[in-house]
Amino acid sequence: MKPSLRAFAAVVVLAAPLALTAPAQAANTLTMRGADVSSLQRSLDLGARYYNASGAPADPYDILASKGVNYLRLRVWNNPASGYNNKARVLQQARTIKAKGFKLLIDFHYSDTWADPGKQYPPAAWANHSLSHLQADVYNYTYDVCTALKAQGTTPDAVQIGNEINVGMLWPAGQVVNNDFAPLASLLKRGYQATKACHGGTQVWIHTANADSNANARWFYDGIRAQGVPWDVTALSYYCMWHGTLANLYNVIADVRSRYGKPVVIAETAYPFTTADADHQPNVISGNERCDNIPATWSGQAQQFSWVQNTARNAGAVGVFYWEPTWHAVRGNGWDPADINGTGNGWDNMAVFDWSGRVNPHVYWTP
């Protein structure tokens, strides 16, 4: 098998530069051109100002639309200490999003705080619940949030059942241990059922940060498929400094698209525009780790984002979402929901707005 795998990889590596430099020859269209704006309402409440490429004050939603964005994503935490990203705040922001004409993706973390590959802590209210109880929790909470959104006329177009659930969610009950996907599968099924009971047309995404390799992606999605988990869209995170080359991204997208027969979306990506830091909170990504030898500048950020979109498009994906492009250096909109005023922003060099709130004039989301 090794010679054939090497041959396939060589073909992709040779083809990738053509895909990156010739979007007019794209094999597919990115119908979902997205942005995660979960921090935006807090920023606005703190008095943040946003400016278009000409430097004129403008509504951040309108700026994103002018850049090609048509789909917005909101995370929902069960009971965050910050009072933001909870059900009430999501309902509020969803009204604005839908009124502006965007589609809406709801990202269920099933936690009071960040859930990602390294931590999947259940909400405090669920901490001592058994697996069977958690199955009911997932169903009831998903259905409650979805139906509340539907009742106010902002039915979600898609939901994620979990956020970057590489090895499960709601640990330890829903963690994948010794390749046993049954506990996690039981939770994912209940989330799917709740979403479809709320609105049959809402897509269910299963989201991992497994864009790094075919092996990891297959391990996870084969595992849940073998347990009979239904889903509508395969969603991946891709950060080049963690997940490898664009050629590798092409391979993974093409493989999961073919293997599972479902649309593929890059649910998260981003690139720094500077190596500097706006506050006392260290940047999550320093900007010194170049991808494709692209510098951390406004032009560099736009170039990398364009290349990710082109790679995704040519591999057959249907969407790319930029993670938190509006989370610029706003004092008081901190990283830690348990200390939102006292912590800084670890993403201030990754937003597509600079520290004064002016949008990167070079960044575009393209079909």
Report the pLDDT value the prediction gives residue 62, as an integer from 0 to 100.
Answer: 98
pTM, two decimal places: 0.92
CA angle 235, 19, 321 (to 5 degrees): 30
pLDDT tens for each residue of 79-137: 999 999 999 999 999 999 999 999 999 999 999 999 999 999 999 999 999 999 999 99
Q: Is residue 275 part of a domain?
A: no
Q: How far is CA 240 from CA 100, 159, 237, 294, in A?
A: 31, 25, 10, 11
For 245, the domain range is: 32-37+50-269+294-323
pLDDT tens for each residue of 38-50: 999 999 999 999 9
Instruction: Note whether 312 and 30 are within 8 A (CB).
Output: yes
Q: What is the mean pLDDT of the chain?
A: 92
pLDDT surpasses 70 at 26: no
Number of domains in the chain: 1
Q: Is residue 337 part of a domain?
A: no
So which residues are the catalytic ones?
164, 268
Q: Name the DSSP class of 226.
A: H
Q: Is residue 229 part of a domain?
A: yes
Q: Which residues contact 4 (CB under 8 A, 6 or more apart)?
A: none
Q: Is residue 363 part of a domain?
A: no
CATH of the domain at 83: 3.20.20.80
**CA nearest to 181, candidates 209, 214, 146, 206:** 206
CA atoms within 13 A on the CB side of 67: 32
Q: Is residue 289 part of a domain?
A: no
Instruction: Note whether 120 and 169 are within 8 A (CB).
Output: yes
- Interatomic CA distance for residues 68 and 85, integer angstroms: 25
Three-state DSSP state, 214: helix
Three-state DSSP state, 278: coil
Instruction: Note whether 54 and 359 are within 8 A (CB).
Output: no
